[in-house]
Amino acid sequence: MKYSYYPGCTLRTKAKELDTYARKSAEALGFTLEEVENWQCCGGVYPLGTDEVATKLSSVRALRDAKEKGQALVTLCSACHHVLKRVNDDMKNVPKVRDAANLYMGEEEPYMGETEVLHFLEVLRDKIGFEELAKKVVNPLTGKKIGAYYGCLLLRPGQILGFDDPENPTIIEDFIRAIGAEPVSYAMRNECCGGYISLRDGEKAQNMCDAIMENAAGFGAEMLLTACPLCMYNLNKSDKLPVYYFTELLAEALGVKEAE
Amino acid sequence: MSKHDAEMIREISGVNPLKCMKCGKCSATCPAYDEMDIKPHQFVSYVLRGDIEALADSKSLWKCLSCFACIERCPRNVEPAKLIDAARQAVIRQRGNEADLSPDEIPALLDEKTPQQLLVSAFRRYRR
């Protein structure tokens, strides 16, 4: 099985682990991530204004590219996932944005939101299945107590992203069980890490992340899992618990972490 | 900013502030509440009254974290973050190059782990 793959700006550089371990794990699970040619940055933040069009075009290009190949479009970064899904929803359901974007694109065949956008975790849950994943685990992370950190961009708004129940998600906990570890549920797993505020107000982000870490540690978590490079950066301002990308633990469980 | 801008903000945001029933859930769930001078639920009232001047000067525009908690939890689909974002957009579009974040500031704000995602997100929030 082949998927179009949109890595996004940070997975080339500061979040290489998130990308590398995902590719290795995908091969071990029997699917391939085919990088979209000439992809452009999604912008990191979905523009809420109803008259925003130009800021959505980079996403539309990637979505159209996947459509041409007849593939679903997979992302790993929480922000790319958020932006691509919301722009795709606009292209499907908001004629004003769709028409203007297609006018800009100037293609013969307009893009109407046909591409299926999937987060890598959704591929694991909905295409592979966590039971199947569990069967391929050769190095179960037995005894590890792991807190899932969802943050904002994977979940909200739930109606458009359709990733999981935005108030009571289970996908990362199910993933943690599939790789043989023990999920730790804690209250602040879908609270904000501070996001872009840390550029100018590191203290505010750190306070927010301290609270998240304390909450998770209080419930017995020994480490946190994230899918977002910015959450990773902000959470690391607090040194209470180590934080890993979910793909790193996946590669470890599948025994492909060290593979070339 | 003027009355005309109140209409513009309603239009850009796509929000109908009349639907608000003042339950305050948006403010209760906002992680930036403490730092906002005009709170999310008040924002809706300011737009209703057309008091856009105060919104344009509000530091709340730059404190919203885009976490979408108020959007997810609003029982009436008023979704105050959309109003805050529309006001922010209106201010940025007026200011043009006098935007809130200059590329010249960036090098001093970087450390070796700063993700690109942080920079692109901040640029999109602080300027066009």
- Min Cα distance A214 → chain B (Å) is 17
For residue A45, pLDDT over 60 is answered with: yes
Shortest alpha-carbon distance between residue B81 and chain A (Å) = 9
Q: How far apart are CA A116 and CA B38, in angstroms?
A: 39
Beta-strand ranges (E) seen in chain A are 2-6, 32-35, 73-75, 117-119, 145-148, 182-184, 223-226, 243-245
Residue A157: closest C-alpha in chain B: B72
The stretch A188-210 carries a mean pLDDT of: 96
Q: Do B113 and A236 touch (CB under 8 A)?
A: yes
User: Which residues of B fall within a CB distance of 8 Å from A161?
Assistant: none
pLDDT at A73: 98
In the predicted structure, residue B1 carries a pLDDT above the cut 60: no
Residues of A within 8 A of B65 (CB-CB) are 152, 192, 194-197
**Chain A CA closest to residue B109:** A199
Percentage of chain A lying above the pLDDT 70 cut: 100
Count of Cβ atoms closer than 10 Å to residue A245 Cβ = 25
Average pLDDT, chain A: 97
Q: Which CATH architecture has domain A2-120?
A: Up-down Bundle (1.20)
pLDDT in tens, B52-63: 899 999 999 999
- pLDDT reported for residue B6: 83
Chain A residues at the B interface, defined by Cβ less than 8 Å, are 8-10, 13-15, 41, 43-45, 47-52, 55, 77, 79, 152-153, 155-158, 166-167, 191-192, 194-200, 204, 208, 228-230, 232-233, 236
The residue count of chain B comes to: 128
Place of tokens 């980079």: A58
- Closest by Cβ to B67, choosing from A192, A200, A229: A192
Are A208 and A191 contacting, i.e. CB atoms less than 8 angstroms apart? yes
Model confidence at A85, pLDDT cuts 50, 70, 90, reads: very high
What's the pLDDT at B101? 86
Cis peptide before A157 (omega within 30 of 0): yes
Asked if domains A2-120 and A130-254 share a fold, the reply is no
| A224: phi then psi, degrees, rounded to nearest 5 | -115, 150
pLDDT at B98 (0 to 100) = 66
- Say how far apart CA A34 and CA A92 lie, in whole Å: 24
Segments making up each domain of chain A, as ranges: 2-120, 130-254
Distance CA A73, CA A111 (A): 14
**Position B5 confidence tier, pLDDT thresholds 50, 70, 90:** confident
Structure tokens, B53: 């001047």
- pLDDT higher than 60, residue B16: yes
The pLDDT assigned to A50 comes to 94
In CATH, the number for domain A130-254 is 3.40.50.11810
Q: Which of B12, B82, B118 sits opposite A198 (nearest CB)?
A: B118
The answer to whether residue A127 scores a pLDDT higher than 60 is yes
Q: Give residue-wise pLDDT tens across range A147-168.
A: 999 999 999 999 999 999 999 9
Predicted complex ipTM? 0.94
The average confidence (pLDDT) of chain B is: 91
| Structural domains of chain B in order of their starting residue, each with its CATH number | 3-95 (1.10.1060.10), 99-128 (no CATH)
CA angle A74, A80, A83 (to 5 degrees): 110
